[in-house]
Structure 1
Amino acid sequence: MPIKTSHIRTRLYHALRSQYSRTSGLLLFGLLVSVPVAAENQDSYSQWECRAAADGSWACGERQMSGRAFPRPKHPEPVIPPEDSGPDVRVANNLDWVEEKALTDEEREKMATGCCGAYIEPKRDYEDAEMDPADAPMRVASASTEVEQENIARLRGDVQLTQGYRQVRSDSATADQNTRIVNLEGNVQFREPGLLVTGDSAQINMDSKDMQIEQAGYLFHESGVRGTATQAKRVDDVFYIDNATYTTCEPGSKAWRLVSSKLNINPETGIANARHVRLEVQDIPILYAPWIRFPIDDRRASGLLFPSFDIGDENGIDYAQPIYLNLAPNYDATITPRYIQERGPMAEVELRHMSKLTNTILSGAFLSDDDGGDDRDDDPTEVFNTRDFQGEDRWLVNLNHLGGIGKRWETRVDYTKVSDSEYFRDLDNATLEVNSQTYLRQLVSASYRTDHWLFGIKGQEFQTITDDPNRIDQYQMLPRLEARGNYRLGDFVFNLQNQFTAFDHDDDNDILPGYLQGETFFEDEKGTFVTGDRLRLDYGLTWDKQWAWGYFRPSVTLKHLSYNLDNPVLGQTDDSPSVTVPVGVIDTGLFMERDTTMLTGFTQTFEPRLYMVHTKYEDQSDLPDFDTSQMTFTYNQLFREDRFIGGDRIGDTEQVSLGLTSRLVEQSTGIEWLRASIGQIFYLSDRYVSLNPNLSKSFLKGLDDPDDLNRLQRDIAADLLRDDSAYAAEFALRLSEHLRFQADVLYDEDDSELDRGNASLRYNDRNNKIFNLSYRYNRRVPRLSDIGNQFIEIDSDIEQADFSTFLPISRSWSLIGRYNYDLTNSRDLETLFGFQYESCCWKMSIISRRWLDRNDYILLPDEDLEHDNGVFFQIQFKGLAGSGSKVESILQDGIYGYEPQSNY
């Protein structure tokens, strides 16, 4: 009886099976899908026939048949040369975890903070390793191969199968070439770029990405996410995992893990969904949730963020739980229920929207019926109790917007308003810098830029958040219109500045206790707020001539100020004052350099600079002061044409500034290792324009002895009448790749006093090892305050020392510290101490902080200010969620150079 061709082929494979090595197994599997028995499209074809011989063996031979051969399905043919030993799928030892000592330098650089190793995916070094599996031939290797029926092969012993970038390894496998299904048994390993799945058994579709693995383990190399499951399926790139665990810890660590009955992971979106979830720390359940959704990498996903937990003197326990809502790819929201033990429940909301052109953040907070806080440190008999807001609603509104990103037009909103002046101090637990804020800006602006012009409109006002009786609300700019032009014709530059501003004030009809100058009232003046419009025009022409060895920039500018006031300045009669002042400037400098003799490979530069200004005096005593103050004198101030910032004064002067800068530059890298600058202004005539209405030109010219004035007036007059400025110097030294020293000094030779000095030594390396030591001194004009119906001078000098550090003492442990001390008044400003622990998969920070509380009604430096105390705690499970934190905010504000490390 004739036997079908398929039976013949199966029999032939059995006959040859024992003669094939591992390489032969590859060829045998290839024959299963590639060797034809008869040619197609022929009128006849050959067919094997086998009959039983007399001795019981098979007698087979070819027989010619009429008609056409039955067409066979076509599949990608394996391309394996006889000398190829087949694919080599690397064994997943310990989930591809590699200890630090075995990592390359490049891999060690990428190792996450706190880790002692990394998940390293083995290289694919075989042919077609980068091809998509749908376009690549299948390669198979095993110790032995047998064919059970047509197109079905069983492979045993170290089975390895690859198809493009997909790799499979197991103890045995059954491959069906018709269905393209491979069933694997024993020590199954499945690999794709960035993914490793292991299990006891598996079924994989080689034409798609679908698979099912029993008793599985999985790993995503990039994020470090790993876990186990009784069963894991992948359908359309999504993993469905039953009885799953999830963690980012290194192998063998039980620091934390999620245990879930159902877990879905989508690597494309970076989102995981879990049901009936419990969080275990060292195998101890600490949290249960019926459902959670969280990111597996640094992409955004709705869910709970890490809470903040603080304990302080005034508020007691302060707990906030952020809830993040990823509403769309370009906008999201964070809702934060917050409980403050001594004040009650409150809520905070933040909405963010981003597009190609705009970036907007709207946030707010509300506390209903404040319980008042713990005021045990306050004296209940005090007339002023700035902490007691019992029974009041407290709130905050903030809007930040930037529009026109990358366009010629731009819109901007920076608006912050709070219910009361003590909101930030009582409810924000912020750092000293935030507590020291005195004004909140409320700004709206729009502008359009062309090649030569910038047109803008802006409205701005401020909310005063201080109860200091010597401080008042600032003026409102409603609106400010600007048109600024810049043209360059060869070496000539034209600057055209046009500005119109309308100034208003909420208290324009109130009588002041005195005239405000800077921060101090004068006891002999009475006045009201002046409101009105101001027009400022500055038109300038500069000849900008530059060479490799220097530059020469003479310029002339015409400055004009005119006003339309609702009422004249106190003591004046003109409600439409104006002034026009010409200004001439010569700015020139040289660049000289030489090779150093003592240090090889360095260049030393000498850069002298001459700056001459002539500005004619014009009487400006009838001009108001809406937004102007005198600039803080620094080395850079040597080379500015005006000593005022703002638009209400044009400083008169006839001066020559001389400066010298020298640098030490490494020739091979261009790195500046040292820079030193020193300079001084020489005044050729007295100056008379000031913000003090008492110090007119006639008064100053007739002044016999400045000591007859109060100290504030005396210092202003002496500065206007002196022949030269203080010496201004800057110094910067690069001690090593990570260590810097900087200093700047103002020394007054006339008084033999240091007006200001700052020095800092800073170390900051790539491992976030930070060390800061700084000192600052600023001699300031004393404040005049009315105490007991008598004006007295209060010392306002600032002298402070500041030390801060973030010091890793091991791979995982870091010390945190800051000590800020007020040398003027011999008191602590802020003391901060804590530690941080960080491993591969979690981080904990705890900080104890003591800071000086602000009290606007304490004026004398020898009066006691209360200190607030707080403990701030943060814990993060990496790969589970992420959030900002008060701890991070405190560290960033308190430790110069500190930046949070990424969790991924």
Structure 2
Amino acid sequence: MHDLKRQASRSRFALTPVALVAVALLHAGAARAQAAAPGGEEALTLRRSPLLKDEIPAAARKELPTFLSGDHLSGRPDLETVIDGHAELRRGDTVIRADRLDYYQPDDLAKARGNVHINRAGNVYEGPSLDLKLDAFEGFFNEPRYHFLKNDAYGEAERIDFIDDKRAIMRNASYTTCQRRPGPSWMPDWILRAASISLDNDSGEGVATGATLSFKGVPILPIPSLSFPLNDGRKSGFLPPTVGPDSLNGLEVTAPYYWNIAPNRDATLFPTLMTKRGVSLGGEFRYLEPLYRGQLRADYMPTDTLRDRQRWGYAAVHSGGLETGITGLGTLGLNLNLNRVSDSNYWRDFPRTTASLTQRLLPSDASMSWAHGDFFATLRTLNYQTLQDVTAPIVPPYNRLPQLAARYARVNVGGFDFSVDGDYTQFQADPTLTLQPNAKRTFALAQISRPWLAPGWFVTPKLQMNATNYQFQAPLANGATTASRVVPTFSLDSGLVFERNASYFGRAFRQTLEPRAFYVYTPFRDQSLLPVYDTAANDYNFATVYTENAFSGNDRIADNNLLTLGVTTRLLDPDSGAEAARFGIAQRLRFKPQNVTLPGGTPVADGVSDLLLGATVNWSPKWMVDSTVQFNPQTHTSTRSTIGARYNPGNYRVFNVAYRLQRGTSEQIDVGWQWPINDLWGQKDQDMGRGRGLGEGRWYSVGRLNYSMYDRRLVDAVIGFEYDAGCWLGRVVLDRTTSGTTTASTRILFQLEFVGFARVGSSPLQTLKQSIPRYQYLREQVTTPSRFSNYD
């Protein structure tokens, strides 16, 4: 939540208005803009303090000794030293080599001539002549070639003037991140040429004036002035404008601006022109403090010509503590999640605004909590905005205005664990839509258990008492305006754990066998007239099969007299303890019917339940299979099935497939992948290391397809290609998102990335990251290079 996309640093230009027009015209065929979408690319983190520098402090540098060496040494003590032949000077993180070197000690001035090579903290400069004051790092270098360590940039200049150890100005200079190749005719794929380039390592910014960006030998972007990053730090400035088509909004043009307010605060403004709708003004603000953090996103469209009205939406998140300054009260927890839009069509018209605003149920949730020792209390208000669709209406959930909850819990008190929970909630919604009255509900849940635990077994009896009271704003069907319910529950959880050494397929394991029995008894209480405010049936899976209640929430307590039997076996690596495989089976034996149901539900008959089967296999880091099947032994069919597999043999190679079945309701196949397609013609990988791709000249196929077999249609689709040329990357992605039962939006995302310099076009990176599990960026700096990685 508190990450900022790397485009805010790597792809940010400080452009003049003329340059903005030039970029927009250049990329008129690009796809819908996401450049300013918060979180839209690789992440930068808000920080409470600046980064530590991998440099020698200036004060300490002055105290460092100077080492001189060469073929011939002459001079006057404490005045000057002259070295002829293989001359070398060392001081701290600075090394100078040349054919001849004159060092004037009173001025701390070094003059180097002939094949001059200087390495300053990993940054290398080479050329014919250098004059430099060492401590101040002030001077000039004629006709230098350079290589910067942190962003792997190369270039040459007519002259470099070193202002100090952080700042320099290059005259008639070139700049690129393309690796040099042997031969006099070599030219980089992309290069920036400028009348002057100013470098400021303190701010991590380079500024070029009179600049031209060339790609494949063709000048594509003349710009009077632009700024670019020298590292991964954030800085203020315009992001590259993006232009692209969208099937819903027409041609979209976005000119985002990033404002780096402080290390722990920033903002992004992203005005957008939509040819079918009008102008949208958007922005995001983020903050990070010692006790709290948060972000605010807002969009405003004065006039939407398609809807003939104003459009707006906002989403705000805040979490952390609130210092009261009151003795004995201390810090309160404060959490906010606010979401609102102007109208019910917002989620359909702007399906990619933010994740929270593309839903049809928008919560505005505010809570304040306090904890002291074993006691915890929270005060909460929750209010939903329901975006209705006439083709698929939904019943709105209940607002909680307010909810007050408290809990007191103790463990191992004389061997016993106990807790008491209390809750008061006022539920509000439109009775004409919910078809039941609003109410104030109070409930208390007390429970006590006595666990007996040993290395090979456990037994835990538990007793619960649930008491609930309702006060209705309108009478029920029987005329009652109040209702009460008290329900006791007894449960007994027990299990055994056996272990043995085993071997399968030539591999040694520690195998476990873990049978488990869980019995629960809850007497029947007639709850058929009680409304339902926050309750739903639990899913039938391994997380809920060993629980006391068949429902979540507090409006229904299921009557139970059942025994759940199950067994799990696991294969563990004997050295690391890592789980290579897990297989489980469970089934419920119901001794009497469950008569408590949700409205419209039917009682659950006695006898045996569906069989629950589960398997997870991580046999090797390459393969993973996870499956859960709910099998009906009477019909010999699966009621629900979820089967997923992942093949991940290495970096930038992943294939995911999942099959999901809920009989009579849905059946889907989900496939996602990232794969180098140069394998098809036998090109071998280059081990570039994590975050560096698989080598130059490689194509990658990326995508995710979600197909509904029940509806016989493609629900969502992301498919595209990435190309890695080493110093530049190309991406083109087709993104189709369903925005209603009969509508969908389609966009084409195209991006050209000049590695270590800028990204131009509409970014598909966040779409790929969210859609494809284990997707990897082709260029993701894992660690910051140290000066010792390029040490002379």
Instruction: Report the TM-score range of the alignment, normalised by the length of the smaller protein.
Output: 0.7 to 0.9
Q: Within 2, Cα distance between the matches of 1:886 and 1:410?
A: 37
Match of 1:395 in 2: 312
* CA gap 1:323/1:289 in 2 versus in 1, 3 angstroms: farther
1:750 equivalent among 631, 634, 658: 634
2:625 equivalent among 720, 741, 759: 741
Task: Report deviation, 1:185.
Answer: 1.4
2:646 equivalent among 754, 762, 783: 762
1:846 equivalent among 726, 732, 741: 732
Task: Report deviation, 1:551.
Answer: 1.2
2:231 equivalent among 276, 282, 297: 297
**Farther off after superposition, 762-771 or 142-151:** 142-151
Match of 1:538 in 2: 445
Match of 1:189 in 2: 117
Runs of 4+ in 1 over 6 A off after TM superposition: 405-408, 433-436, 882-885
* CA gap 1:638/1:182 in 2 versus in 1, 3 angstroms: same
Amino acid at match of 2:160: A
Q: Within 1, Cα distance between the matches of 2:743 and 2:288?
A: 43
* CA gap 1:155/1:562 in 2 versus in 1, 3 angstroms: same
Q: Percent identity?
A: 26
- Asked if the contact 1:584/1:614 (under 8 Å) is kept, the reply is yes
1:354 equivalent among 273, 278, 288: 288
* CA gap 1:886/1:546 in 2 versus in 1, 3 angstroms: farther
Task: Report deviation, 1:219.
Answer: 2.3
Q: Within 2, Cα distance between the matches of 1:751 and 1:883?
A: 58
Match of 1:824 in 2: 710
- For normalisation by structure 1, the TM-score amounts to 0.72
1:457 equivalent among 379, 388, 408: 379
* CA gap 1:336/1:436 in 2 versus in 1, 3 angstroms: closer
Match of 1:159 in 2: 87
SS at match of 1:334: strand
Match of 1:480 in 2: 403
User: Within 5 A, what are the aligned runs for 1:486-635?
Assistant: 486-488=409-411, 489-505=413-429, 507-508=430-431, 510=432, 512=433, 527=435, 529-569=436-476, 571-598=477-504, 599-635=506-542
Task: Report deviation, 1:132.
Answer: 5.4
Are 2:242 and 1:317 equivalent residues in the alignment? no
* CA gap 1:300/1:435 in 2 versus in 1, 3 angstroms: closer
Task: Report deviation, 1:461.
Answer: 1.8
Q: Within 1, Cα distance between the matches of 2:551 and 2:209?
A: 65
Q: Within 1, Cα distance between the matches of 2:465 and 2:532?
A: 21
* CA gap 1:494/1:883 in 2 versus in 1, 3 angstroms: farther
What do the CA deviations read for 1:37-63 (whole angstroms, capped 9, x no partner)? xxxxxxxxxxxxxxxxxxxxxxxxxxx
**Farther off after superposition, 875-884 or 464-473:** 875-884
1:803 equivalent among 654, 671, 678: 671
- For normalisation by structure 2, the TM-score amounts to 0.82
Are 2:169 and 1:241 equivalent residues in the alignment? yes
Task: Report deviation, 1:501.
Answer: 1.0
* CA gap 1:831/1:897 in 2 versus in 1, 3 angstroms: same
Task: Report deviation, 1:547.
Answer: 1.0
Q: Within 1, Cα distance between the matches of 2:503 and 2:101?
A: 76
SS at match of 1:369: strand
Q: Within 2, Cα distance between the matches of 1:883 and 1:723?
A: 64
* CA gap 1:895/1:447 in 2 versus in 1, 3 angstroms: same
Task: Report deviation, 1:133.
Answer: 4.4
Task: Report deviation, 1:610.
Answer: 0.7
- Asked if the contact 1:309/1:873 (under 8 Å) is kept, the reply is no
User: Which segments of 5 or more consecutive residues in structure 2 lack a partner in the other structure?
Assistant: 1-41, 43-55, 182-186, 324-329, 679-694, 782-792
User: Within 5 A, what are the aligned runs for 1:340-489?
Assistant: 340-372=274-306, 389=307, 391-404=308-321, 409-429=332-352, 437-468=359-390, 470-488=393-411, 489=413
What do the CA deviations read for 1:366-388 (whole angstroms, capped 9, x no partner)? 2232232xxxxxxxxxxxxxxxx
What do the CA deviations read for 1:144-203 (whole angstroms, capped 9, x no partner)? 234489823332222111123321011212221222211111222111222222232111
Q: Within 1, Cα distance between the matches of 2:404 and 2:776?
A: 39
Task: Report deviation, 1:608.
Answer: 0.5
Q: Within 1, Cα distance between the matches of 2:483 and 2:657?
A: 51
Task: Report deviation, 1:725.
Answer: 1.7
User: Within 5 A, what are the aligned runs for 1:642-721?
Assistant: 642-692=549-599, 716-717=601-602, 720-721=604-605
* CA gap 1:749/1:884 in 2 versus in 1, 3 angstroms: farther
- Asked if the contact 1:800/1:824 (under 8 Å) is kept, the reply is yes
User: Which segments of 5 or more consecutive residues in structure 1 lack a partner in the other structure?
Assistant: 1-112, 114-127, 373-388, 517-526, 693-712, 781-796, 856-864
Q: Within 2, Cα distance between the matches of 1:871 and 1:438?
A: 25
SS at match of 1:348: strand
Q: Within 2, Cα distance between the matches of 1:271 and 1:368?
A: 36
- Aligned CA-pair RMSD: 2.8
SS at match of 1:368: strand
Q: Within 2, Cα distance between the matches of 1:765 and 1:330?
A: 39
- Asked if the contact 1:687/1:721 (under 8 Å) is kept, the reply is yes
- Asked if the contact 2:241/2:761 (under 8 Å) is kept, the reply is no
Match of 1:171 in 2: 99
Structure 1 or 2, whichever has the larger Rg, is: 1
**Farther off after superposition, 281-290 or 664-673:** 281-290
Task: Report deviation, 1:574.
Answer: 2.0
**Farther off after superposition, 748-757 or 267-276:** 267-276
What do the CA deviations read for 1:506-554 (whole angstroms, capped 9, x no partner)? x24x3x5xxx6xxxxxxxxxx4x41121112111111122111121111
Which structure features the higher share of strand residues? 2
Bigger relative contact order (CA 8 A; separation at least 6): 2
Q: Within 2, Cα distance between the matches of 1:606 and 1:770?
A: 33
- Asked if the contact 2:500/2:510 (under 8 Å) is kept, the reply is yes
Amino acid at match of 2:100: S
User: Within 5 A, what are the aligned runs for 1:202-213?
Assistant: 202-213=130-141
SS at match of 1:580: strand
- Asked if the contact 1:435/1:854 (under 8 Å) is kept, the reply is no
Are 2:661 and 1:777 equivalent residues in the alignment? yes
What do the CA deviations read for 1:213-251 (whole angstroms, capped 9, x no partner)? 122233221321333232223334222213333333322
- Asked if the contact 1:845/1:874 (under 8 Å) is kept, the reply is yes
Q: Within 1, Cα distance between the matches of 2:503 and 2:775?
A: 39
- Asked if the contact 1:306/1:875 (under 8 Å) is kept, the reply is no
Amino acid at match of 1:135: E
- Asked if the contact 1:415/1:441 (under 8 Å) is kept, the reply is yes
Task: Report deviation, 1:815.
Answer: 0.5
SS at match of 1:502: strand
- Asked if the contact 1:879/1:903 (under 8 Å) is kept, the reply is no
